[in-house]
Structure 1
C-alpha cells in the first residue's frame, strides 16, 4: 500500500543528538565518562520530552548532582550547540517529499521549551504539515497513546502512514498499530525505502 504521509522522528534522523560526543570534546573523555556514569542525562531528557519544564528539570537535576552541576546546566544554556548538526541527506528527503506534495509529519520526543529553539536554528523543522511534539502533548514514544493521538488528529489510516525513527522500540510500537515503518540507519537507507514505496525517484533528492 502506498503511504499517504511520511512521519519523521527528529533526533538522530534530521538533527544529531549525541551529548556524549559533545561533552567528550568539551571536557575530555575522562570527565565525560564520569558525568554520564553519575548522571542519567538521557532519563532527564526523557522527563523533559514527557512534559517536564526544560529549564526547571535541568536545574532540579543539577541541584541533585552538585559535583556535575556546571555540565548539567550547560545543556540548558547551550542547547543549540549540543543538538546539532543537521543531517543533510535526511533534510533533502524531507524537502523533496514536500516538493512532491507528499504530506510530512513530525513525531518526536522533544521538550516544549527546547523544540522552538531548535526550530529557530533549523528552519526545515517548521516545514512539517503536522508536528506531533511529545512535550506539549504530555506523552512520549513508545507509549501507544502518542501514536493513537497522531492517528486521531491526522485521520489517515495507520496502514497509510510510513514512520521512520532511529530507535527500535519506537518503530516496534508503531508497527504494532499497523503503521508502515523504517528503522533509520542513515539517509541512504531511508531514500531507498521512499523510492521503493513510490514516493520519490532518485532525481528528486540527489
Structure 2
C-alpha cells in the first residue's frame, strides 16, 4: 500500500529536496506540497494525505498549530514535524498538539522514510537526542498569557503597543513581563524572549 504524503514548508527548495528523497521510496508518494501552515488542512483533505510532514516555522499558521488543526478537523491524516529547529519546548508543544512524531531535517533519508512509515502505522516517533534534552529542560514555566506577551515583545513593541495588541492594560503587561523575566532567569525582557525562543517555549 502506498502512503500518501503532504509536505508543508515555506522554503520551496527544502520541499523539493524532501519530495525528491521521499519519492524514491517505493511505498511513499508525495501528493501535495504547501508553503503555508494555514493551507495544510484543506490540502491534506483534497489530496487524501495519510501523513503530513510539517515544518515548525511557517507563515499563516505554524507547524504545531497545523498539527492541532489536522487532529481536530482531519484526523485521518497523521502529522510528523520535520524541522531545523530542534528545540525541546517545540517537541513538547508538538506532541501536546497531536503530532505523532518530531524529527530534525538532518535526519538521514532512510530514517526519515522509516519515521513516516511508523507514524502511518500509529506509532510515535521522536528524535532521541531531543527527547533527552526535553526531559532535561522540563516543561515551559510560562503561563499562556506570559507566553503571549513575550511573543508580542519579541517584535520589539513598547509596553503600550503590546497592551493594545494583547487587549490588556499596560500595568498587566508589565506584570506579565516581570513574571516572565523572573521565570526564565533573565535580566531583561529581550533576554527573556531569547531564552524562551531558544527553549522552544514561544
Q: Common fold, TM-score beyond 0.5?
A: no
- TM-score, normalising length from structure 1? 0.29
